[in-house]
Structure formats: structure tokens, C-alpha cells
Amino acid sequence: MNFRELASKYKTPLYIYDLDYMTKQYEELKEAFKGRKSLLAYAIKSNSNLSVINHFAQMGSGADCVSIGEVRRAFLAGVPSYKIIFSGVGKSDEEIREAIEKEILYINVESEAELGRVELIAKELGANCRISIRVNPNIDPLTHPYISTGLHDNKFGVDIDSAKRMYIRANNSEHLDPVGIHFHIGSQLTELKPIYESAEIVADMVRSLQSIKIELKFFDIGGGLGVTYKDEVTIKPYDYAQAVLGTLKGLDLTIICEPGRFLTANAGYFLTKVLYEKKNGAKRFVVVDGAMNDLLRPSLYKAYHKIEAITESKSELSEADVVGPVCESGDFFAKDYMLPTLEHNDLLVVHSAGAYGFGMGSNYNTRGRSAEVAVKGGESRVIRKREEFEDLIALEKDYLVK
């Protein structure tokens, strides 16, 4: 990929997405479940650009959504209603109502209280709402605590006993149709054992429900398959699929998998320009035009991203903090990273930026978010224009108190 050319054409800071890489990842994961009824439902939260969602939709993907905004994005991007799932802990009445009216595949219910709201709203609409219940198997996913979701300490899902009560209630309701069961223990999973143990617990629950004449259709295994940022040893899709399939003997269920990071993370690059170098005593800083409002993961999670210097410099490498213009000490992309001496207008490429990058951005310090560019077959095009100052004040200027 010619980063100099892309920087010249589209300016910096800039997000770049390799759609061909996304295709390869999608096809590898889909192939892993070959021979079994399955649906890949792309987790929109990882990268919610309409062109990215549409790219997966054209390959047959569904959509895993965690807000009604994401549900609307899925529809706009061409995902059919019967492939859309609506998850999330805190759905409002308005969101639930719209999801029922749009007749999506199902709503993932995360608490007994939420089940009651879904039932009441479905009754008001005279509808029969398809639901799945998110089961929390209380398995440690062995990942970062901020992205762990499968323990009782986490806010997600319900325990096995609560889930069983909820299924019985839903099965006896005129306005609820329990069609699926769901679990998702965390993101950036690199260990197979917790996935297998969770699937085994949830599969046993499906059998328990069958014994009381509650027949489900969908076994939703969530997503979370990890990727390589630095030196992680990741799970092969085939091994992942076999671990899940090994727990489903005797069960005729459609498997739903909700990949996000696995499809997009290493397809994305964040391109930023060097403004200048500075030193505070012996401490070296490389100041760039991108900032934490563009890519928050290093500040939020202390996440590692490989950084590649595009420069003519032949100097020795030395440690430097890569920092942006935002007025926060937490505004950095890397600490003590080995880089050559850099000059004004040299470029830095932050790798593995296709997941939880742009979508977690903000306009902090009244900074416009960067443009997004897609590359496919060697050709590039803008898929989201750069925000200008007028975009940032558009929702405020007519309400200015004078």
C-alpha cells in the first residue's frame, strides 16, 4: 500500500481500510463452519462505516447491532431484516419498539426486567417478538478486564437459573417467541478453552430446555475471536469452529457467529503526519497531527499498535513517545517506542486500526474526525469525508444563547 500517495491525495490524519483483507478474513471464518447451518452476523460496533457494513452484506453477512442506530445502519447498508440481531444491556422502550416494528431476526434479551419490557411493548403493538436470551456462563475469558463480558462480575447477560425462568416465561407468553440462545464471553479471545467450556455449558442448557418442550433454532456464539497486534498467538478459525461444534452433538441448530475485530482490525491503518520532534530533558517526543480523539485505544486500554515510520531518515533507532495535539497527558499512541529521527511531514502508520478506531473517536478539543478511505483491488476512494468546523457546530449554532 502506497501510504505517501494516500497521504498526498487525502491528507492526514486518515483511516485506510483494505477491503480485500476483510474479504479474506470473512471467507476463512465462513469456511470454518462449512457443512453446518450458520450465519456470520458482522458486529457493527467494531467498524460502523456504511461501506464496510455493505461490503460484508454483499458476501451474505448479517449484522450484530448494539443500538437502534446500528440497526438503522444495517438496513441502510443493505442487510436484510431477517439477518439483523439487536443486542445490548440498556435498550430503551423506543429502541425495543422500533426493533419489533422492523421485524428483525430477534432481540437479544439481557435481563428479566428487559424481558418484561419487550413483552409489554410487543403486547401494545399486537406483535409476537422473536427473542434470544444472553446467558452468562461465568467463564473467565482471559482477556483485558474492560472487554471481558462472560463473568458474573460483568454487566452482561443472566445466569443459567435466571435464563431458564426467562425461557419458561417467554414460551408461555402470547407475545414472545424464544428462538435462540446467546453467549459472548469477551473480546480479543486468544485461548480456546474458555470458548469450549462456555459453549458446553450453553449447549447443555439447550438440551435442558428441550426436555421441557422448549425448542430453539439459533445457537449464537457471539464473537471475540482475537487478532495479532504484536506477538499474540491467536486461534485458528477452524479450531474455533470445531471447539463449538464439538459441544452440539445431537442438536439441530443454526450457528450464529458475530465477528467484528477478526474481520476489520488488521485491515485498517491510521495514517498521521509528523509535526515535529521535541525533548524534555532526555525524554524524546514525536508530535503528530493525529490524536486520542482519532484513535483512543492506546489511551483507554494501554493497547499496543505497531507503528511504521515512512521517512528518508537513516538514523539509529531510539525510544520516543508518539503524542498528539490534544491537551491531555493521556494523548499518546505509544510510549518509549523505537523510532528513527523524524522530520516535519514524515509519516507514521499505526497498524491494526480497523476495529474500535474511528468509531470510538470524538470531537474533543473541537477537532474534526479524520476521513475514511477504502482500498479495493488497488483502487482507493473516500467512504467518509473529513469533518470540517462547520460540521462540528451544525447542531449548536442555531441555538446559540445571546
How many other C-beta atoms can be found within 10 angstroms of the C-beta atom of residue 117? Answer: 16
Burial of 115 per CB tally in 10 Å (0-12, 13-18, 19+): buried
The mean pLDDT of 356-366, rounded to a whole number, is: 97
Cell 456470520 sits on residue: 40
* Residue ranges in 33-107 assigned as alpha helix (H): 50-57, 68-76, 93-101
DSSP 344-372: TT-EEEE-S-SSSSGGG---GGG-PPPEE
Q: pLDDT tier at 186 (50, 70, 90 boundaries)?
A: confident
For 5-41, write each residue's pLDDT tens digit: 999 999 999 999 999 999 999 999 999 999 899 999 9
The answer to the question of whether 137 is labelled as a binding residue is no
165 is in an annotated binding site: no
Q: Based on the number of CB atoms within 10 Å of its own CB, is 250 exposed (0-12), middle (13-18) or buried (19 or more)?
A: exposed
| Mean pLDDT of all residues in 332-355 | 98
The reply to whether 297 sits in an annotated binding site is yes
Q: CA-to-CA distance for 168 and 170, rounded, in angstroms? A: 5
Known binding residue 301? Answer is yes
| CATH code for the domain defined by 3-14+266-388 | 2.40.37.10
For range 277-285, the mean pLDDT: 95
**Given 65, 129, 257, 327, which residue is catalytic?**
327
pLDDT for 155: 57
Candidates 69, 68, 39; CA nearest to 56 is 39
pLDDT at res. 188? 83
98 burial (CB, 10 Å; 0-12 / 13-18 / 19+) is: middle
What is the C-alpha separation between 215 and 220, in angstroms, rounded? 14
Residues of CATH 2.40.37.10 domain(s) within the chain?
A: 3-14+266-388
User: Is 327 one of the annotated active-site residues of the chain?
Assistant: yes
Dist CA 42 CA 44 (whole Å): 6
Separation between Cα atoms, residue 243 and residue 193, nearest integer Å: 8
Cell triple for 373: 478511505
pTM of the shown model: 0.94
pLDDT at 147: 39
pLDDT at 193 over 60: yes
Considering the chain, tell me which residue range(s) the CATH 3.20.20.10 domain(s) occupy.
33-259
Q: What is the CATH topology of the domain spanning 33-259?
A: TIM Barrel (3.20.20)
Closest CA to 43 of 68, 23, 17, 70: 70
If you search the block for the grid coordinates 499474540, which residue do you land on? 232
90 annotated ligand-binding residue: no
Rounded Cα distance, 292 and 303, in Å? 12
The Cα-based distances of 23 to 39, 80, 100 in angstroms read: 16, 19, 31
Distance CA 336, CA 16 (A): 25
- Tell me how far apart the alpha carbons of residues 402 and 395 are, in angstroms, rounded to a whole number: 16
Average pLDDT over residues 323-344: 97
Please check if 359 is assigned to a binding site.
no
